[in-house]
Structure 1
Amino acid sequence: MDAQSLLASASINIGLVFIILVLFSIFKKQPGNAVVYRARIMSRDEAAFPACYQEDAFSFRRFLPSFEWVGRAFRVTEDELMRNCGLDALVVIRLFKFGIKLFVPCSVVGLLVLVPVNCTSQERSSSITLSYSIDSFTISNIGRGSNRLWVHFSCLYVVSLYALYLLYQELPAAFVSFNSRQGAALASQTQQHEDPLLWITEPAPEPRDVLWNNLAVPYGYLIVHRLLAVVVASVLTIFFAIPVTAVQGIAQLENIKKWFPPARAIQLIPGLSSIVTGCLPSFILNSFIYAVPYAMLGICGLQCCVSRSKKEMKTCSMVFYFLLGNVFFLSLLSGSLLEQIGESFAHPKSFPNHLATAVSSQADFFITYILTDGLSGFSLEILQLCLLVWHFIRSGSFGRETQKEPYLYSLPYYRVIPSVCICILIGMVYAVVAPFLLPFLVVYLLLGYVVYINQIQDVYQTTYETCGQYWPHIHNYIVIAIVLMQVTMIGLFGLKSKPTATILTIPLLVLTLLFNEYCKICFRPTFYRYSVQNAMENDELDEKEGTMEAHKEMAIKSYRQPFLRCTHLESADSSTTEPLVSSKRSLKNDAIESDEPDEKGGAVEAALRDSGSRQQSRLADSLV
């Protein structure tokens, strides 16, 4: 791809974003569209409308574009987001902020230091045309054995250490306090039976998060379900290689002309070849990718997760690794190493060199991918085009009385987090190789930050709360990105005949892996285990305030199975008010898995998975 194709892609995407955002700012002012653009606010307070909704329907101001919502996104505080939308929503915003804090300084260093070093190198062949070759701005323009590579080596250390520093600072974002119970905290962290598979204890999800139908699946059968999900996901990943390879073929017009001679007619129309090679590949790829998260969500449904949050977190990981394999690695392979795949498997030690060669030649494609996924993708996300069209059809077909029903959906974490993380991964890999990519990534992150602040506050509702358990997954994704950057640079230094730099990069790789293990030991348990000290303090506080019995009754009602939630079972004196099957993970009540009540009072949840029987049940006890 040449500079003209890249310019065509950037122009088209920027123009499309501007048009879509103007339309959004106008559509959002129309009272009839409140069910689409202010669904979350309407669900909480039907009278919560901005002043413009109370004006005359034909007011001229309603048809003037405005961008007040952009300023509001930068004024909102994290405390407001966590209080109103929950910690999981805040984790998504912190992901965008992490990327912005990481890549803004890296962009400055890259543009002011690395790009001039690359462009002014006179050690490559004079046949390279600087004005038309994108490689002139990358490390590819540096000759073998050049001392300029020490600048890249220094920047690699700076970027890696800065990324690890930011990652270490972000972990406390998900540290929360629980109104838990001492017995629940102890039991959830200990083995309950000499047979570890007879009783498997784990904290339970919130009542609204439970998938009741999956609780009856025997534990032994879950392995079969998980294996089936892995097989289906693997088949989908393999078949997805076909469109990715085809997309890379479109990106390389010379290959198309060899395989399909009539394609030479594209060059007869001025500018058409730039549009085809610059915009069409990334557009086609993103169109296929859009359906992947929903397909993976269906596949994760085969695993019979006990809660929606677990199901979506598994989907999140599956989608990320799918994108890592198909969007990143397969795009590299099909673009420049298709003939060397066999050699890579035969000689795995040469993988860093192959990766380095591929990365340095595919920077232009990933720029267009970020432009399409970010600029066009985020703008279409805020416009909610499909939902808006359905709203117009529904209003016209079923009458205007249906317009007051808001379209409420939960935030698709499994779609947002993987796509943002894969773009951060691309930015990390190219931070030293092709730093001119980073400004595009910063714009991508800024736009995503503004868009999802608006969506979280006005559109999406909170359907469950995991207390930030998405962050350990994000941490792993970012560490993978840092490791890939370092492995790529090891290969590049080897290709550029700088063995000393290669050797000196290995300690940095080891340091990154040790840092990851340190974080797992120190911080990861906080996301999944409840402090016994906090449990005791909250028990004592409830006893002093006399709220222990109230919490017990609340737990009983919240975790009663749907078929037990009948009016005639509400008698407080009846033993049938205590649920036989229940499950719980709450911000205010910790839960355990157990089979018999304690005598001290309090609300705990007990769960039992019997691998030797035909049934699996989650038992909730009302007394501790």
Structure 2
Amino acid sequence: MTATDVSGLVTSAIINVAIIIGCFALFSVFRKQPGNEYLYFAHEISHEKKKAALSGRFTLHRIIPSASWVKKAWSFSEEEILESSGLDAVVLSRIFLFCIRFFGICTIAGIFILMPVNYIQGDVDISTIGNDALDQFSIANITNGSNRLWVHFSVLYCVSFLAYGLLYMEYNYISRMRIHFLQTRRPQLDQYTVLVRAIPKSKEKSVSEQVEEFFSAYHPHTYLLQHTVLADTKIQQMLSKAQFLAREIEALKSVPPIHRHPQRTRFWGLYGRKEDPLELYSKEIEELMKIMKETQMQMAQGSKELPVAFVSFKSRWGAAAAAQTQQASNPLQWVTDWAPEPRDVNWSNLLIPYRQVWIRRLVIGVVFVCIILLFFIPAALVYTLAKLDNLMTWFPFIQTVLSIPVVSSFLSGYLPSLLLTILYYFVPPLMMSFTKVEGYASYSTEERATAGKVFLFLVGNSFFLVTYGSLLSLINQAIDSPRQIPNLLAASLPGQSNFFMNFIMTKGWTGLATETLQPFTIISDCFLRHLLGKKLYGPQVQSLSYFRVLPNILLFVFIGFTYTILAPLLLPFLMVYLVMGYIVFRNQVMNMYEPSYETGGQYWPHVHNRVVGSLFLMQLIGVGIFGVKDKAAASSASIPLLVITLIFNYYCNMRFRPIFKYLPVQITMPKDLEDEKMGYNSRVYELLQTAYSCPCKHTLDMSMLNDGNYKPLLSDVGSTSQEA
């Protein structure tokens, strides 16, 4: 790392810290304004834990930034998060907590053990730190064959076993939380229901008759009812708009007419006569519901049954027996799996024939690999253009500008990470569009699959782009000599720590600051309010996009593992991101985001596997770096860690993964007996009559639209169960 790199790092830090302070200050002020409560406190308002102020007298306190939200977000307990936002939100918080514990210890070891060992090498003047290179604090400063490498070897072993211990404890803790969650959770309809696909065709009987006959014959004591899925697309597209209008109408009823902003009736509110929004929305929803009912009548006359059905049972035990066993001698027929929550069902994907699903996923897998390779071109161009030497070579006329220290520091430090951050912003929605084609039956499964794609994309593209310069060259050399992969990575990584420090600040720190501020939502709200004359009165309900959040966290975790031994100076930058993320997302899930589904913590096994993969790569690079540094004994002695990691991951998946995949009989039977004693069954059976029926079969009324997907978590059955 040259003096230019150091000045670039400082410039990047100054820019990012300034942006962060500005965003947090604006957020602190904006959240106090009465007009913004429906955005920054949407979750609380939707749960009726907070009332939105229609107007308020101006006070100086409203325009003075404060950090009170930080203290409040830090003080939330896991029980509060679980009750308000569900187990998935708790798992997100635990991911940050695990990383803070692990990298906190690694940072202490890196600063007080590895950095002094790396720096104290020969006769080096301390005054050369800023002028020469920060590489003096990395393993690159250790001479080949030095006995100081045994310190790195010892730290590698200690860090690895620390990771084993913390990962095991976290997996065990979250597994126990999931079991307790299932044992204490009030009756949920998905625990009684199975999704059946690949129902064989019959010329003599309808799909409904086949399902009824099959489950009555093979599950005679537990079978309750079934809902066949119809080829419905029109109603599904109208429901979201109807739910939005219903939510606005409900909010407008509590707003005095004097506080309602009249809206124009024609073309997005740009022209036409002005009308009271309550009357306008009431007319719109009446018209929309009329169209929906007409569409329902048309579908009722000529609707086509798909070979897909939701089958409900009288008990959890009966549903578990059907969901977790093979139903037919042909495993590609009568395929059963647990049904998603009613609000989590992706009805449009149920139209995809089951036999096409594996073909679609295979094709998307090939396309995904091609996209990674193709996306490498613009990413490499952005990264290459940001190098000063390349800019001077390709654009000699700007050498005068580049000679200005501030400009050169900006271009070498902040610009590359900024451009790549902007470029990668579009990756999650692109990956989500691919995942939608694969035919997953639930939105939660779609998000988990997309999160995996985004993570692999970021690691395969940005990481290898920066560390090695060319993913294709690395692949070619790896094919020619697979045993050289550790050495190839080890030789390239230490010199790129500067870029990743900038990347963590730009994509990580600044990304978290903008997450709190929600600038796009604020801008769109101003556009609607001031240019189109529209104002939203109901809570602007949003769900947390796990497919965006988790890959970013795991990418930084991946980078942290990689550089723990090589360049520990990077770890303090990572720790700042983790602590900020812990606070920011606790605030967001408690105040703003409304869960659109609940998986019961099923994100953790995916996180665990990716963290273990990062640990494995760290150990693989350790084997390579000791080889590059001519310390063959340390390199050979590091190989057992790779085997231990594979055994550890296998044991954890064998011990804990089934808890997240199946519903144990040890839980289902006691819960069934408890519900029978409490008298919940009759109410559950009543709800099952309509919960999984196709949207085109629903009785459309305002109460149904108000319930929709905006119910508080765990209350869709729980509250009604208590009434039973």
TM-score tier by shorter-chain length is: 0.7 to 0.9
Q: Which residue number in structure 1 is paired with residue 351 of structure 2?
A: 216
Would you say the 8 A contact 1:124–1:143 is kept in 2? no
2:646 to 513, 522, 545: 513
Give the whole-Å Cα distance in 1 for the aligned partners of 2:145 and 2:105. 28
Give the whole-Å Cα distance in 2 for the aligned partners of 1:567 and 1:340. 58
1:30 to 30, 33, 45: 33
Give the whole-Å Cα distance in 2 for the aligned partners of 1:566 and 1:77. 40
Q: 2:344 is matched by which residue type in structure 1? A: D
Would you say the 8 A contact 2:35–2:54 is kept in 1? no
Closer, same or farther: CA 340–203 of 1 in aligned 2, 3 Å: closer
Higher mean Cα deviation, 456-465 or 191-200?
Answer: 191-200
Higher mean Cα deviation, 259-268 or 166-175?
Answer: 259-268
How big is the shift at 1:76? 0.4
2:496 to 350, 362, 368: 362
Find out whether 1:138 has 2:138 as its counterpart.
yes
Give the whole-Å Cα distance in 1 for the aligned partners of 2:369 and 2:72. 43
Instruction: Give the RMSD, CA atoms, in angstroms.
Output: 2.5
Give the whole-Å Cα distance in 1 for the aligned partners of 2:631 and 2:387. 31
How big is the shift at 1:42? 2.1
Q: Which residue number in structure 2 is paired with residue 380 of structure 1?
A: 514
Q: Which residue number in structure 2 is paired with residue 392 of structure 1?
A: 526
What is the aligned-residue identity percentage?
40
2:611 to 478, 481, 493: 478
Q: Which residue number in structure 1 is paired with residue 17 of structure 2?
A: 14
Give the whole-Å Cα distance in 2 for the aligned partners of 1:508 and 1:169. 19
Give the whole-Å Cα distance in 2 for the aligned partners of 1:159 and 1:82. 31
Closer, same or farther: CA 540–140 of 1 in aligned 2, 3 Å: same
Q: 2:75 is matched by which residue type in structure 1? A: R
Q: Which residue number in structure 2 is paired with residue 173 of structure 1?
A: 174
Q: Which residue number in structure 2 is paired with residue 266 of structure 1?
A: 401
Give the whole-Å Cα distance in 1 for the aligned partners of 2:107 and 2:349. 48
Q: 1:26 is matched by which residue type in structure 2? A: V
How big is the shift at 1:343? 3.0
Give the whole-Å Cα distance in 1 for the aligned partners of 2:611 and 2:444. 21
Give the whole-Å Cα distance in 1 for the aligned partners of 2:714 and 2:537. 32
Find out whether 1:347 has 2:481 as its counterpart.
yes
How big is the shift at 1:567? 7.4
Would you say the 8 A contact 1:29–1:62 is kept in 2? yes
Q: Which residue number in structure 1 is paired with residue 290 of structure 2?
A: none
Give the whole-Å Cα distance in 2 for the aligned partners of 1:511 and 1:471. 21
Q: 2:158 is matched by which residue type in structure 1? A: V
How big is the shift at 1:183? 1.6
Find out whether 1:161 has 2:161 as its counterpart.
yes
Q: Which residue number in structure 2 is paired with residue 109 of structure 1?
A: 109
How big is the shift at 1:403? 3.3
Q: Which residue number in structure 2 is paired with residue 530 of structure 1?
A: 663
Would you say the 8 A contact 1:91–1:470 is kept in 2? yes
Superposition TM-score, scaled by structure 1 size: 0.87
Q: 2:24 is matched by which residue type in structure 1? A: L
Q: Which residue number in structure 1 is paired with residue 694 of structure 2?
A: 561
Would you say the 8 A contact 2:96–2:581 is kept in 1? yes
Give the whole-Å Cα distance in 1 for the aligned partners of 2:432 and 2:144. 47
Deviations 1:264-313 (A, max 9, x none): 33332232111101000000000011111111111111112111011111
How big is the shift at 1:71? 0.3
Closer, same or farther: CA 183–33 of 1 in aligned 2, 3 Å: same
How big is the shift at 1:129? 6.8
SS in structure 1 opposite 2:336? coil
Would you say the 8 A contact 2:42–2:539 is kept in 1? yes
Give the whole-Å Cα distance in 2 for the aligned partners of 1:458 and 1:482. 34
SS in structure 1 opposite 2:453? helix
SS in structure 1 opposite 2:625? helix
Give the whole-Å Cα distance in 1 for the aligned partners of 2:464 and 2:381. 15
Q: 1:493 is matched by which residue type in structure 2? A: F
Would you say the 8 A contact 1:250–1:276 is kept in 2? no
How big is the shift at 1:516? 0.2
Alignment map for 1:410-489 (pairs within 5 Å): 410-489=543-622
Find out whether 1:241 has 2:376 as its counterpart.
yes
Give the whole-Å Cα distance in 1 for the aligned partners of 2:675 and 2:495. 63
Superposition TM-score, scaled by structure 2 size: 0.75
Q: Which residue number in structure 1 is paired with residue 455 of structure 2?
A: 320
SS in structure 2 opposite 1:404? coil
How big is the shift at 1:19? 1.1
How big is the shift at 1:320? 0.6
Length, aligned pairs only:
569
Find out whether 1:310 has 2:445 as its counterpart.
yes
Find out whether 1:406 has 2:539 as its counterpart.
yes
How big is the shift at 1:154? 0.6
Q: Which residue number in structure 1 is paired with residue 239 of structure 2?
A: none
Higher mean Cα deviation, 199-208 or 257-266?
Answer: 257-266
SS in structure 2 opposite 1:403? coil
How big is the shift at 1:54? 8.2
Give the whole-Å Cα distance in 1 for the aligned partners of 2:380 and 2:125. 31
- Runs of 4+ with >6 A deviation: 123-126, 337-340, 586-590
Q: Which residue number in structure 2 is paired with residue 576 of structure 1?
A: none
Q: Which residue number in structure 1 is paired with residue 121 of structure 2?
A: 121
Identify the structure with the greater strand proportion: 2
Would you say the 8 A contact 2:387–2:411 is kept in 1? no
Higher mean Cα deviation, 212-221 or 503-512?
Answer: 212-221
Would you say the 8 A contact 2:624–2:635 is kept in 1? yes
Higher mean Cα deviation, 75-84 or 542-551?
Answer: 542-551
Deviations 1:501-548 (A, max 9, x none): 111111111111100000110100000101112111112112222322
Q: 1:229 is matched by which residue type in structure 2? A: I
Q: 2:70 is matched by which residue type in structure 1? A: V
Give the whole-Å Cα distance in 2 for the aligned partners of 1:144 and 1:28. 56
Give the whole-Å Cα distance in 1 for the aligned partners of 2:583 and 2:495. 32
